[in-house]
Chain A
Amino acid sequence: MSRKTMSRFAKAARILLATLREIFDEAAYARFLLRTRMTSSVEAYAAFRQEFEEAKTRRPKCC
């Protein structure tokens, strides 16, 4: 497999992972840590869920 093809596969895999991280809110948690200058911990995750839940539950999901 050529280097170009390999790099395309790697890029596709990176995008897929980024998409999954966004869908599963991992990216939102990472942004929260960045914004609040906290490191990942039980307390940080609890604070993230508290801030994030109301916004998330207001989002409609389709049928």
Chain B
Amino acid sequence: MNKSLSIVAWGIVGALGVVAVGVVAVRRGEPINALWLVVAATCCYALGYRFYSKFIAAKILALDALRATPAERLENGRDFLVTNKWVVFGHHFAAIAGPGPLVGPVLAAQFGYLPGTLWVLAGAVFAGCVQDFVILLFSVRRDGKSLTEMAKEEIGRVGGFVAYAAVIAILVILLAVAALIVVNALKDSPWGTFTIAMTIPIALLMGLYLRRIRPGKVLEVSVLGFFLVLLAIWGGQWASQNAAMARVFTLRAPSLAILIIIYGFAASALPVWLLLAPRDYLSTFVKLGTIGLLGIGIVVLHPTLHMPALTRFVDGSGPVFAGKIFPFAFITIACGAISGFHSLISSGTTPKLIARETETRMVGYGAMMAESAVAVMAIIAACVLQPGVYFAINSPAGVVGQTAAAATGTISSWGFPVTASDMQALAHAVGEQTLFNRTGGAPAFAVGMAHIFSQSLGGATVMALWYHFAVMFEALFILTILDAGTRVARFMIQDALGHIYKPLGRTSWYPSILATSGLVVGAWGYFLWQGVRDPLGGINSLWPLFGIANQLLATVALCVATTIIIKLHRARYAAVTLLPLAWLVAVTFTASWHKVLDPNPRVGFLAQARVLAAGPATSASAQLIFNNRLDAAVTAVLVVMVALVLIESVRQWVGVLSGGEESRVKEAPFVMTRLAEERG
């Protein structure tokens, strides 16, 4: 394309983006079509990728297509492997896209569609994509080293230790909150519980097929498994209507929590997880398919958003979670805007597959844009619901009232009319007994998705199937994260304990496996139990805790990135990582301060503990007081650790810039690629 044509084309994209963002931001008092969000997002991503990522690639990272990557130099056919860039992109996207970009935006929709949308777009383009891109490239230049190793080498031992501790903390809190989302989606739902229970025999069948009938034909068996899951969803309707079956599969939240804790331990400590492994494939298959389907559905059906741009809850009085728009919108939506966890993937498998440095831009920056697009879809799915319905589903009974009449009365009094009969009709349409108090985001997302698809495919008659398909999809891939995450945390703890007593590090030594599995499951199980017993629904305390931990890991990743950029003598461009870092420090430290010390008992852990202590003393209140103090302590420890990394990083920056500190980076030496010669 010649230069003037390119300028005109990008000018049109820019103008369209400005108009779309303008409509999304300015329109008030009337419903808006979801296509405006789609257009705004598409233009922002296109401009961000074309200009900002190119600027970073050229000016800061100086990507070198002639430099051999570890995939080429260390190729072993296993971890290190030269791979097609689109294949790496797909692989990386499948690893970074989890429930986070679906759940966070649904919860943050309590502020209206605008704050979440703006944060997802700006956060991704200027922070999340940048973090994933630079960490990926820096890991590629260090033979695929992990974030913790890079933090240790570039910032010092404190950096390495904090990164390690932050990863463990995030894993524990993530697993607890993910399990809580599943519990809230499946409680009192025989249909959903039956469908998820059926995925276990389906996985076993897939495993048998893979091992005995057609070894290694994973795609083939995943398609088969997918059809069996559809059959299980259909069978779930029968189970929910059959009195005996419904009794078996109607479980209260505490029972589900206990079952999930037992499942997590068994999956981590016993060889049964080998039998369950095919479920991972099934979950990935369903996840990618559903995300694609939802994207097509939104573009083709372009539903109308009923949620206002901004709600009254920007003042911090929201029923879904308490806290003002700043900082809580920015920690509620992590994945989709910026997620520290991505830096683990960007410094894990992906850098070992990259064929050429120049491809890190598409994989690192591009895959995060795709995840951000998933978050936009989640915002749309939540905001197509009538606001009254959204709040009835997502508000805990402790806030809106125990009965349907009390809940609808409270929600209607906020200016979001909803009636008990509306909710009953909706619950009936999706095949549930009730949709009140289904906190956690997953049920609201499922209702939104069912609402979008019921406008076309099969109409309202199949809304229940769509709803249970969405619940199954979320619960299935959350459960696979639960068993995979438990094992990852177990391995990390075993690696660390191996330095103290060697046998503890052996992943085949059963006493160590049982002890570390028990430790990890006990930790997330404790937080899960706390969430299940919490009168405010658990999500109110656990999701912000997860958001804070995740964003603090992003802070560590951006500290590492900024340190390397300064050491590379490109300090004049350091703002590219320094500004997102400053923003995250402001957000996470403010949020942590509120969660620990805010005098409002719905926000501050210690304030809530004080209120409980002033009330009647029971064993339940004693436990709640302890839990609140524990949450406050966890938050405070995380903040102190990250503050240490910040101080250490700033000390390094000052040292390098003043010439007092050696500015050598720990990159692998330059080796000329042979791939360029082969390509001629």
A contact set with B: CB distance below 8 Å: 15, 18-32, 34-35, 40-42, 44-46, 48-49, 51, 53-55, 57-63
Contact = CB atoms under 8 A, between A and B. Distances in A.
B73 interface: no
B360 to A, nearest CB: 17
A35 B95 CA distance: 26
Contacts of A51: 78
Given A58-B488, A59-B349, A24 B219 contact: yes
A25 B341 CA distance: 23
Contacts of B216: 26, 29-30, 40, 45, 48
B485 A61 contact: yes
* Most chain A C-beta atoms within 10 Å of own C-beta, residue among B81, B87, B491: B87
Contact of B90 (A23, A44, A59): A23
B86 A62 contact: no
Given A24-B222, A59-B348, A19 B87 contact: yes
A11 B284 CA distance: 23
6 contacts: A15-B87, A18-B84, A18-B86, A57-B488, A61-B484, A62-B342
B550 interface: yes
Contacts of B99: 63
A26 B345 contact: no
Contact of B217 (A26, A35, A55): A26
B211 A54 contact: no
Contacts of A49: 211, 274, 277
B284 A23 contact: yes
**What is the interface of chain B mostly: helix, strand, loop, or mixed?**
helix
Given A46-B211, A48-B216, A61 B84 contact: no
A62 B217 CA distance: 25
B215 interface: yes
B138 to A, nearest CB: 18
Contacts of A44: 215
Given A24-B285, A61-B480, A62-B95, 16 more contacts: A15-B87, A24-B222, A24-B281, A42-B212, A42-B215, A48-B216, A53-B277, A57-B487, A60-B345, A62-B96, A62-B335, A62-B342, A62-B344, A62-B345, A63-B174, A63-B341
B485 A60 contact: yes
Contacts of B349: 59
Interface in B66-124: 77-79, 81, 83-84, 86-87, 89-91, 94-100
Q: Determine the interface band of chain B, counting residues with CB < 8 A from chain A.
A: 35 or more
B481 A63 contact: yes
Residue from the set B78, B167, B178, B485 with the largest chain A CB neighbour count within 10 Å = B78
Contact of B491 (A27, A34, A57, A63): A57
Nearest to A30: B216
Contacts of B597: none
A26 B83 CA distance: 14
A45 B81 CA distance: 20
B210 interface: yes
B578 to A, nearest CB: 24
Contacts of A53: 274, 277
B77 A60 contact: no
B168 to A, nearest CB: 11
B77 A35 contact: yes
Interface string B443-478: 000000000000000000000000000000000000
Contacts of A18: 84, 86-87
Given A62-B98, A63-B178, A20 B210 contact: no
A35 B78 CA distance: 9
Nearest to B167: A60
Contacts of A27: 87
B335 A63 contact: yes
Nearest to A24: B218
Contact of B344 (A15, A28, A55, A60): A60
B274 A26 contact: no
B474 to A, nearest CB: 13
Of the candidates B90, B98, B281, the one having the most CB atoms from chain A within 10 angstroms of its own CB is B90
Nearest to B97: A62
Interface string B487-504: 110010000000000000
Contacts of B480: 61
Contacts of B550: 63
Interface in B277-313: 277, 281, 284-285, 288
Given A57-B484, A58-B488, A63-B339, A41 B215 contact: yes
Contacts of B485: 60-61
Nearest to B178: A63
